[in-house]
Amino acid sequence: MTDRLRGKVAIVTGASRGIGEAIAAAMVAEGAKVVLAARKPDALHAVAEKLGDAAHAVACHTGKEEDVDALVEATVERFGQVDVLVNNAATNPYFGPMMNVEWGAWEKTFEVNLKGYFMCARAVARHLLDRKAEGSLVNVTSVLGQMAAPLQGVYGMTKAAVISMTETLSAELGPRGIRVNAIAPGLVETRFASALTANPAIRQMVLDRTTLKRLAQPEDIAGAAVFLAADESRYVTGHTLVVDGGWTTT
């Protein structure tokens, strides 16, 4: 532990497993107080218990404004402030050609992946502005927001929109000392991505294009989130940090 986040309070959404859990654990290890947010309280509380007193679980549907406002209020009540937000909660209910997607799946994907990100970012930014405090907002997007995404087109559109949101918010909030950046992972071995990682053809296609010749682990993404939350990245904003093992270079 190097205490890179000592004195900072972070909210991490989608923190009950996978990338979100790894980010929360890495931030606690670096000295932060972390509020874990996700829809399912049982898994969330299990992660919080594992991380100890520096972690606190708050059940939250990030697509509902009242839940998001309550999340920020609960964080302030528990730890006194919010300095860092990691938007990580995501869904991908439809796998197939864009021409066949049903509106229910479309709405769900945009509600969680885009509306939820914006509501959380705005709520935390308003808190920082009220405090006249600097802060860091980190949006977990995807390399599929930067390239064609056959069979995952709706998911890819939401992730492209998150990159656009990141850049615009960085321009609007930068003069007040609030940095806004994104992380674009490649294929990560998580339960969320299991439909892809367990498919031999898709897995091999990604490995063939990935110069490091392995899929990412959640901990590979966590390091990038710590960097963007820490003061060492204090002059970085409006940037999308690609963490894909070289997939998009080929």
CA distance 240 to 224: 11
Q: Which CATH number is 9-249 given?
A: 3.40.50.720
CA distance 13 to 86: 6
First-to-last C-alpha distance (Å) of the chain: 35
CA distance 122 to 112: 15
Please tell me which residue in 94, 117, 155, 235 is annotated as part of the active site: 155
Active site includes 155?
yes
Per-residue pLDDT tens digits of the chain, which is 250 residues long: 579 999 999 999 999 999 999 999 999 999 999 999 999 899 999 999 999 999 999 999 999 999 999 999 999 999 999 999 999 999 988 899 999 999 999 999 999 999 999 999 999 999 999 999 999 999 999 999 999 998 889 999 999 999 999 999 999 999 999 999 999 998 888 777 777 777 888 889 889 899 999 998 999 999 999 999 999 999 999 999 999 999 998 7
Which bin fits 213, alpha (ψ -120 to 50), beta or left (φ > 0)? left
Note whether 11 and 73 are within 8 A (CB): no
**In what helix (H) or strand (E) does residue 18 lie, and over which residues does it extend?**
helix 18-29
Beta bridge partners of 19: none
